[in-house]
């Protein structure tokens, strides 16, 4: 079973990430919030540190570029007493482990306690990197190693329905020709690669959707604009047009064949049941990245709670954790309730990441973590602005910025409503056709 203590092997990584948040991100956070679309040059040093940690084995797989799914080796929940102990159970089976998904969640939580936009802008740690880690072949992973990859899914006419993608991919010899439009591509301008979702046959719906790795300098991938946003302004968000964009066939992720699903399998927001070669394989990306986005929300929530608690303490309002909330001040009671929400989201996120590390299907748990953490982040950040009064609303504190940053964490990687739909399908055992 999962051990809720932070593994000792991850503690140096977490400490370094916390130091990065406080010593690097906080001092420049307001600067790049105001200088939207300006690349934070300070992140080059941060990226070099992360690369050095990874090369030396000290990084423990931290960052989106390193998340991957462990193969299910038959170990059963309940057969072991702890995670990552390096021992075998009494039955002689391999024990559960803490891997790159959990370490990434814990480290990203800390960096996003500093700044979400800056975290998203760290080179070679894009969500496209997580997509490659989730479904690419070993040869592809080696070929794309060291590259910064963005992910392009959303289109003007599809919104949250990834299965309604209109961008087409037509086979032409040893290439595919992509045509369509993509919007809200995080790090789209700065990345070296873009993972583009496209369909081989619109008439087949989700079953024909594949993901392709497109070089950013491909002449068929045309940058249309950079978006001006409410929050996470340090992170660039791009819109692209794909105009006869030729992509080598070897840059298709997964099986190039269209697999026809049996009734009731696949297409429900997770990879289970549909295989790694088609839409289910592409959607498996979300099973890895949704816990990462949940951890981003957790980091911002933690920052808001910590700063508000300090501001209220300066004003004489101190929470007594040993007394019931109803006998304390209204402000203290509200902090207690928000802390409980944070802990709920934190535990859900740890479980989703732990399941991925141990080869357990986690589509429902990933959506639970994303839904709870995203909504908690918005509610807590706005409440903290309110509790801090004029101080929370002013630019003298980062609270107002964190409140603006929070909303996107309830939207991207699947909106709150999509997460609840995925969860309902899993709980009730319905397919996407049966429950829309």
**Rounded distance, CA 114 to CA 112, Å?**
5
**Rounded distance, CA 396 to CA 217, Å?**
41
Q: Report, as an integer, the average pLDDT of 394-401.
A: 97
Averaged pLDDT of the chain = 87
CB distance 162 to 280 below 8 Å: no
pLDDT of residue 64 exceeding 80, the answer is no
Give the 3-state secondary structure percentages of the chain, helix then strand then coil, rounded to 5: 50, 15, 40
The whole-model pTM stands at 0.89
Percent of the chain topping pLDDT 90? 70
Per DSSP, what are the bridge partners of residue 247? 176
**What pLDDT, in 10s, does the model give residues 283-333?**
778 888 999 999 999 999 999 999 999 999 999 999 999 999 999 999 999
**What pLDDT, in 10s, does the model give residues 282-296?**
677 888 899 999 999
Q: What confidence tier does 66 reach under pLDDT thresholds 50, 70, 90?
A: low
The region of weakest confidence among 12-16, 250-254, 256-260, 341-345 is 256-260
**Rounded distance, CA 121 to CA 235, Å?**
5
Q: What is the pLDDT of residue 107?
A: 94
pLDDT of residue 1 exceeding 90, the answer is no
**Rounded distance, CA 306 to CA 301, Å?**
9
Residues classed as catalytic: 413
Q: What confidence tier does 419 reach under pLDDT thresholds 50, 70, 90?
A: very high
Of 109, 95, 97, 50, the C-alpha closest to 69 is: 97
Backbone angles phi, psi at 39, to 5 degrees: -70, 130
Of 284, 286, 301, the C-alpha closest to 409 is: 301
Q: What confidence tier does 436 reach under pLDDT thresholds 50, 70, 90?
A: confident
pLDDT of residue 97 exceeding 70, the answer is yes
Structural domains in the chain plus CATH codes: 8-139 (1.10.540), 148-259 (2.40.110.10), 281-428 (1.20.140.10)
């Amino acid at each position: 079973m999962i051990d809720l203590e932070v593994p000792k092997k991850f503690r140096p990584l977490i400490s370094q990430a916390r130091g990065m948040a406080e010593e690097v991100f906080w001092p420049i956070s307001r600067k790049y919030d105001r200088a939207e679309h300006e690349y934070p040059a300070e992140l080059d040093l941060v990226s070099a540190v992360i690369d050095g940690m990874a090369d030396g084995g000290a990084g423990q797989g931290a960052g989106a570029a390193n998340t991957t799914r462990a193969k299910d080796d038959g170990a059963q929940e309940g057969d072991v007493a702890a995670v990552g102990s390096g021992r075998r159970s009494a039955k002689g089976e391999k024990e559960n482990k803490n891997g790159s998904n959990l370490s990434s969640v814990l480290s990203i939580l800390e960096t996003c306690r500093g700044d979400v936009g800056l975290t998203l802008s760290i080179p070679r740690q894009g969500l496209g990197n997580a997509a490659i880690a989730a479904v690419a072949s070993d040869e592809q992973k080696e070929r794309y190693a060291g590259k910064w990859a963005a992910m392009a899914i959303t289109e003007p006419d599809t919104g949250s329905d990834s299965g309604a993608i209109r961008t087409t991919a037509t086979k032409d010899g040893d290439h595919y020709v992509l045509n369509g439009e993509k919007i809200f591509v995080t790090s789209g301008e700065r990345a070296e690669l873009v993972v583009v979702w496209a369909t081989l046959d619109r008439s087949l719906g989700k079953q024909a959707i594949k993901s392709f790795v497109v070089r950013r300098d491909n002449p068929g991938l045309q940058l249309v604009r950079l978006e001006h946003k409410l929050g996470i302004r340090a992170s660039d968000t791009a819109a692209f047009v794909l105009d006869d964009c030729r992509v080598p066939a070897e840059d298709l992720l997964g099986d190039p064949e269209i697999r026809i699903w049996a009734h009731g399998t696949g297409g429900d927001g997770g990879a289970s049941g549909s295989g790694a070669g088609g839409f289910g394989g592409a959607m498996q990306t979300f099973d890895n990245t949704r816990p990462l986005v949940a951890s981003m929300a957790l980091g911002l929530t933690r920052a808001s709670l910590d700063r508000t608690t300090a501001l209220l303490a300066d004003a004489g309002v101190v929470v007594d954790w040993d007394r019931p909330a109803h006998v304390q001040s209204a402000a203290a009671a509200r902090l207690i309730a928000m802390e409980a929400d944070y802990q709920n989201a934190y535990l859900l996120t740890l479980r989703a990441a732990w399941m991925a590390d141990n080869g357990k299907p986690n589509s429902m748990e990933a959506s639970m973590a994303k839904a709870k953490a995203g909504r908690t982040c918005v509610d807590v950040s706005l409440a903290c602005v309110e509790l801090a009064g004029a101080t929370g609303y002013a630019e003298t504190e980062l609270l107002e910025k964190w409140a603006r940053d929070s909303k996107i964490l309830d939207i991207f990687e699947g909106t709150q409503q999509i997460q609840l739909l995925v969860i309902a399908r899993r709980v009730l055992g319905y397919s996407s056709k049966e429950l829309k």
